[in-house]
Amino acid sequence: MNQDNKTILEKANAAVTAGDNEGFLSFCTDDTVWEFIGDRTLHGKEAVRQYMSEAYVEPPQFMVEHLVAEGDYVIATGKISIKNDEGVLIHYAYCDVWRLRDGKLAELKAFVIEQQAA
C-alpha cells in the first residue's frame, strides 16, 4: 500500500509538470482539502482547479528530494519553482503531507518557504 501511495503521488505530480492540471485532478477526491500553512485553505476539487489555473500559468518545476510513505500518508520534500505574475521564476522549498483515501489524494498540508537569492 505504501508503495502504491507513492506511485499515485508521483503520477499526479508528473501530470502537473506536464501542464495537465485535469490529469492531476483525476488523482484527487472531489472533497479534497489543501491547507497552505500560514496562507489559505482550499476546499474541494473546483477550488483546487481554480487555484491551479491561476498559480500554474506555466507548469511548475519540481525536484522531489525525499518521498516517505506510512499508512495513508505520503510526505514529499523538495524544491519547486513557479513563475509569478510578472513572469519571474520564484524558487521555494516545500514539505507536502498528503493523506490518501481510497487511492486518491484527499488532504494536503503544504509547508512552503520562498528561497532567497544568494
Element (H, E) at 17: helix 2-17
pTM of the model: 0.92
pLDDT digits over 27-62, tens only? 999 999 999 999 999 999 999 999 999 999 899 998
- Dump strand ranges (E) for 37-70: 40-43, 61-70
Q: Which of these ranges, 44-48, 84-88, 103-107, has the smallest mean pLDDT? A: 84-88
Query: What amino acid occupies position 112?
Result: V
Element (H, E) at 95: strand 89-101
